[in-house]
Amino acid sequence: MIKLHKTIYDEKEVRAQFPIFNSGNLVYLDSAASSQKPFSVIKSINEVYSKHYANIHRGVYKLSQEATDMYEDARETVKEFINAGSVKEIIFVRGATEAINLVTSTVADINLEEGDEIILSRLEHHSNIVPWQIAAKKHKAVIKIAESDENGDVSFESVFKNVTSKTKFISITHISNAIGSIIPVKEICKEAKSRGIFTLIDGCQAAPLLEIDVQDMGCDFYVFSGHKTYGPSGIGVLYGKEDILSEAPPYQGGGDMIDKVTFENTTYAGLPSKFEAGTPNIVGAIGLGRALQWMKEIGMNNIYGHSKKVISEGVNILKNIKGLKIIGEPSKRGGVISFIYKDIHSHDLGTLLNTYNIAVRTGHHCAQPTMERYNVSSTVRASVGYYNNKDDFESLAEGILKVSKVFENV
């Protein structure tokens, strides 16, 4: 049962839910890489291992049945979280990377032909580039790029000016992990559907931030990872339309994905089991379910509203630092700000910020084509979760100025 949530943000109350903030003065600005975990998620994981753990589905004893129920309840929670039409459309995977590889290795594998086109955006994470490159090479298909503009926006027009009668797939991020741009995926999916084009949306940065409704969005596939949505690592979700997944071949072979096995032939289980070979990450799925419930208890509109406020404050604070340049000024920004500072390399800046207990991400953020577009090799990335506030960006600004003095004295 999802509880009613408060609408007033209480900083102390929120941070008290995260044990990692209970000691020291950690400034954690790396939620785009992985979010911290609330007590309720950690407790749920501990309780499974200490009270309910067993392998699932085929056990006739009570413990196995309890674990099975908890695992499948988590699937129901995911279904509700993204408003999927059926639990058959929810596939548990190791993470978004595996989810995308599953689609390219199955659905794309039986649908791509020589000369077909795949459209990606300039802002994709490598995990939404490399699997498509492998598929394109195998089938002699062509990858086309929807470019971002100077501000970091990828528009509806930039996608569809690449579309032809040969376009088979559009695979695009919902929010850029590198510069925070929010992409108009609903409009893109709607138009793609009218043209018979498959759509896959990488929701890793959006699922912890926005209300997701895959039926309203109209996408064929939506993927996200547990560790970015306040849940455990090693678990993720592939949403896929039931009719499409039903026609696709299995991704892996093994236990739980079979109906009947003989040496002459094997028949496969129905959805979702067909795509969950072997013993799954039982505890990870249950922990993810609890994390999604935690977000729903707060309210996704509240989470987005808070993030929008904190990011806006962060942008204003960072813009006042002389010599700092924010990379990307998208019209709609998620929970990410990327920047460079003077001629200090991002790794050096991040390393020295760590001495002040400030955690930021540095490098190309698994988005080298994005870095190339904006003529940088790497950036410092500050990203927020529900536990962040304006004070974190003020601490970041103070840290940057301290680092600057270090370099002045070298």
Bridge partners, residue 93, by sequence: 236
Say yes or no to pLDDT of 36 above 80.
yes
What are the backbone angles phi and psi of residue 330, rounded to the nearest 5°?
A: -65, 155
- What confidence category does residue 313 fall into, taking pLDDT thresholds of 50, 70 and 90? very high
Per-residue pLDDT reduced to its tens digit, 41-62: 999 999 999 999 999 998 999 9
Say yes or no to pLDDT of 410 above 80.
no
- d(Cα 71, Cα 69) in Å, to the nearest integer? 5
Say yes or no to pLDDT of 394 above 70.
yes
Torsion of CA 256, 277, 91, 70, to 10 degrees: 50
Percent of the chain residues topping a pLDDT of 70 = 98
CATH of the domain spanning 11-37+299-408: 3.90.1150.10
Instruction: Report the pLDDT value the prediction gives residue 7, as an integer from 0 to 100.
Output: 62
Bridge partners, residue 121, by sequence: 146
Ramachandran class of 113: left when φ > 0, alpha when ψ lies in -120 to 50, beta otherwise: beta
Instruction: Report the pLDDT value the prediction gives residue 1, as an integer from 0 to 100.
Output: 33
- What confidence category does residue 4 fall into, taking pLDDT thresholds of 50, 70 and 90? very low
> Alpha carbon 353 to chain centroid distance?
26
Cβ–Cβ under 8 Å, residues 39 and 394: no
- d(Cα 236, Cα 204) in Å, to the nearest integer? 9
Cβ partners under 8 Å of residue 87, min gap 6:
72, 75, 76, 79, 272
Neighbours of 60 (CB within 10 A): 6
DSSP annotation of 201: E
Fold of the CATH domain 43-296:
Aspartate Aminotransferase; domain 2 (3.40.640)
Cβ–Cβ under 8 Å, residues 360 and 350: yes
247: exposed, middle or buried (Cβ count in 10 Å: 0-12, 13-18, 19+) = exposed
Catalytic residues, which ones?
366
Instruction: Report the pLDDT value the prediction gives residue 2, as an integer from 0 to 100.
Output: 38
> How does the average pLDDT of the chain come out, rounded?
97
Mean pLDDT value across residues 217-226 = 98
Cβ–Cβ under 8 Å, residues 410 and 45: no
Q: Where are the domains of the chain?
A: 11-37+299-408, 43-296
Say yes or no to pLDDT of 349 above 90.
yes
Q: Are strands 361-363 and 379-383 parallel, antiparallel or unpaired?
A: antiparallel
Residue 44 Cα distances to 16, 146, 297, 349, 372, angstroms = 17, 42, 16, 37, 42
Cβ–Cβ under 8 Å, residues 87 and 72: yes
Mean pLDDT value across residues 373-392 = 98
Say yes or no to pLDDT of 220 above 70.
yes
Mean pLDDT value across residues 289-304 = 98
Tokens matching residue 159: 């996608």
Mean pLDDT value across residues 113-125 = 98
Residue 391 Cα distances to 47, 311, 317, angstroms = 34, 12, 10
- d(Cα 304, Cα 180) in Å, to the nearest integer? 13
Say yes or no to pLDDT of 409 above 90.
no
Instruction: Report the pLDDT value the prediction gives residue 213, as an integer from 0 to 100.
Output: 98
Sheet holding 361-363, edge to edge: 324-326, 336-341, 379-383, 361-363
| pTM greater than 0.85 | yes
Whose CA is closest to 318, among 382, 378, 404?
A: 382
Say yes or no to pLDDT of 330 above 70.
yes
- What confidence category does residue 174 fall into, taking pLDDT thresholds of 50, 70 and 90? very high
Residue predicted with more confidence, 340 or 7: 340
Q: Which residue has the tokens 């929701």?
A: 203
DSSP per residue, 285-353? HHHHHHHHHHHHHH-HHHHHHHHHHHHHHHHHHHHTSTTEEES---SSB-SEEEEEETTB-HHHHHHHH
- d(Cα 404, Cα 320) in Å, to the nearest integer? 15
Coil, strand or helix at 34:
coil
Instruction: Report the pLDDT value the prediction gives residue 58, as an integer from 0 to 100.
Output: 87
